[in-house]
Structure 1
Amino acid sequence: MNPFENPDGTYLVLINDEKQYSLWPAFIDVPAGWKSVCGEKSREECINFIEEHWLDMRPASLAEAMDRS
């Protein structure tokens, strides 16, 4: 089974410097450039967190550039 799709697994929500989010299996080390902002919850809880907080899908650098224009 794909560890990113296990409905019974525990997950983290990660964010990078571009303010992009990722659902991440809790048993896998957090990759460089990412940090945990919500941790060790069910897949559904983490997906809900992402849906509530990731309102602008643009990378932060693009959003800032577009807002300056």
Structure 2
Amino acid sequence: MPTIYQVLVNHEEQYALYPVARELPDGWTPTGFSGTEDECVAHVDARWSDTRPRSVRTAATAARIGGS
């Protein structure tokens, strides 16, 4: 029987796959999606195109706006 995973997200809007049967790690929140590893990877790939942490994306945007 394959392991069922859930998709988690942290405060930096980074995603992770984590086995459903395990206790959630600190700082991570379930997105509500679970399935096989392949299904979860496809779900994350469809939603997470910019893998930089939110704080880095925000700083880059601020620098672009402030530097114009």
TM-score by length of 1: 0.83
Q: Does structure 1 residue 35 correspond to structure 2 residue 29? A: yes
Q: Secondary structure at the match of 1:50?
A: helix
Q: Where in structure 2 are there 5+ consecutive unaligned residues?
A: 64-68
Q: Where in structure 1 are there 5+ consecutive unaligned residues?
A: 1-6
| Runs of 4+ residues over 6 Å off in structure 1 | none
TM-score by length of 2: 0.85
- RMSD, aligned CA: 1.4
Q: Secondary structure at the match of 2:59?
A: helix
Q: CA deviation at 1:44?
A: 1.2
Q: Does structure 1 residue 19 correspond to structure 2 residue 35? A: no
Instruction: Pick the structure with greater CA Rg.
Output: 2
What percent identity do the matched residue pairs reach? 32
